[in-house]
Amino acid sequence: MKLTMKMENVLIADEIEQECIDALKAEGINAVVKTKQTHDQLLELLPQFDAVIVRSATKITKELIVAGSKGKLKIVGRAGTGVDNIDVVAATEAGVVVMNTPNGNSQSAAELTCALVLSLARNITQADASMKSGKWARKDFMGEEIGGKVLAIIGLGRIGQMVASRMQAFGMEVIGFDPLVTEEAAKALDIQLLGLDQIYAKADYITVHVPLNKHTQNLINKEVLLKCKKGVRIINVARGGIINEVELVESIRNNHVKGAAFDVFEEEPPKFRDLVENGQVIAIPHLGASTKEAQVRVAVEIAKNIVAVNKTFELLGAINAKDIAKAC
């Protein structure tokens, strides 16, 4: 699908790196920064702009999309991967393209995942907290080597593959599940492709790298946890809601799950304190993309996607373009 409308005015509704603004202005696009706008203010603003760029703070609701589409709005750009804060269905119905930048955060998210695997294996955060409380309790934090352990990666896209290659360097055996990846492609990456039930029974560590949708919500729940090895550790740097938080805590308390690391939560900030405050859980405040490099990368990428509409009429990073085309 191609868009013939020229992008002239872009609203930047969340804080973003200057490189994004500079990239737009260099191509003759007027970039207006108005952050922390109320819903009513956005109702007035969006119809005046060809595109709006957001991160995760601003919620682009159905009401905003409908209002914007009655004016000039043709693109909602997300500087980042997740589009939970954008009503994509409403955008599609209104003919508004939703773009994201899935590649910009990949390395940062993969590196954080690897750090969390290592932290779980060696009890790093717990030992640090113990030291800061004045203790010297070496015997309390006996860890384990990850070499020779089985790492299951659910979702073998860009991030999943990056995690695989890095953890293989530590000597981990990597198995994975992804319905879009062939056995041949997985084999080329030295990943054993298995069904989910096979993965659960074999994995020492499980990390999820899938989007949150009706197929993945509560993907790892009480029933699944019972299929897992006793002592399994679980990592989520993808999206809150993929792992059932209540049932995971229950499994930890029952000494079935050894530990978990969460960067994302069903509610953010998380209200389920039993997860956050559990001593066997590492909980951090959605830091997957929080590196200087990733922030600049996604900011520049979303600007380039919008610029490309003017230059080539191509919709780079558009996640609903095909659905809009079908409806036309």
Q: What is the pLDDT of residues 199-244, one digit of tens each?
A: 999 999 999 999 888 999 999 999 999 999 999 999 999 999 999 9
**SS3 assignment, position 31:** strand
What would the pLDDT profile of 64-88 be if each residue is shown by its tens digit? 999 999 999 999 999 998 898 999 9
Instruction: Please report where in the chains the tokens 């920064």 appear, as a residue.
Output: 33
Would you call 166 a catalytic residue per the annotation? no
Which amino acid makes up residue 146? I
Here the CATH number for the domain that contains residue 55 is 3.40.50.720
Clarify whether residues 69 and 126 are in a common domain: no
CA gap 36, 14 in Å, rounded: 7
CA gap 311, 145 in Å, rounded: 52
Clarify whether residues 187 and 144 are in a common domain: yes
Q: What percent of the chain has pLDDT above 70?
A: 98
pLDDT at 27 over 80: yes
Q: What confidence score (pLDDT) does residue 328 get?
A: 58
Q: Do the domain assignments include residue 184?
A: yes
CA gap 96, 69 in Å, rounded: 7
Clarify whether residues 112 and 138 are in a common domain: yes
Clarify whether residues 130 and 259 are in a common domain: yes
Which amino acid makes up residue 164? A
Q: Do the domain assignments include residue 153?
A: yes
Clarify whether residues 98 and 110 are in a common domain: no
Burial tier of 328 (Cβ tally within 10 Å: 0-12, 13-18, 19+): exposed
Task: Please pick, among 8, 44, 145, 268, the residue that the annotation labels catalytic.
Answer: 268
Clarify whether residues 263 and 317 are in a common domain: no
Q: Which domain holds residue 122?
A: 106-283
144-173 residues labelled b (16+ CB within 10 A) or e (exposed): eebeebbbbbbbbbbbbbbbbebbeebebb
**SS3 assignment, position 12:** strand
Q: What confidence score (pLDDT) does residue 312 get?
A: 82
Clarify whether residues 50 and 87 are in a common domain: yes
Average pLDDT, the chain: 95
What would the pLDDT profile of 271-315 be if each residue is shown by its tens digit? 999 999 999 999 999 999 999 999 999 999 999 999 999 988 888
Task: Please pick, among 55, 78, 233, 239, the residue that the annotation labels catalytic.
Answer: 239
Instruction: Please report where in the chains the tokens 């999820």 appear, as a residue.
Output: 208
Q: What confidence score (pLDDT) does residue 4 get?
A: 60
Q: Do the domain assignments include residue 213?
A: yes
Q: Do the domain assignments include residue 216?
A: yes
Looking at the structure of the chain, the number of domains it has is 2
Task: Please pick, among 93, 122, 286, 314, the residue that the annotation labels catalytic.
Answer: 286
pLDDT at 3 over 60: no
pLDDT at 29 over 60: yes
Would you call 215 a catalytic residue per the annotation? no
Which amino acid makes up residue 57? A
CA gap 92, 108 in Å, rounded: 30
Residue 261: φ, ψ to 5°: -135, 125
Clarify whether residues 274 and 302 are in a common domain: no
Average pLDDT over residues 114-122: 98
Would you call 256 a catalytic residue per the annotation? no
CA contacts within 13 A on the Cβ side of 158: 11
- Contact status, residue 253 vs residue 260, Cβ threshold 8 Å: no
Query: What Rg, from alpha-carbon coordinates, does the chain have?
Result: 22
Average pLDDT over residues 147-161: 97
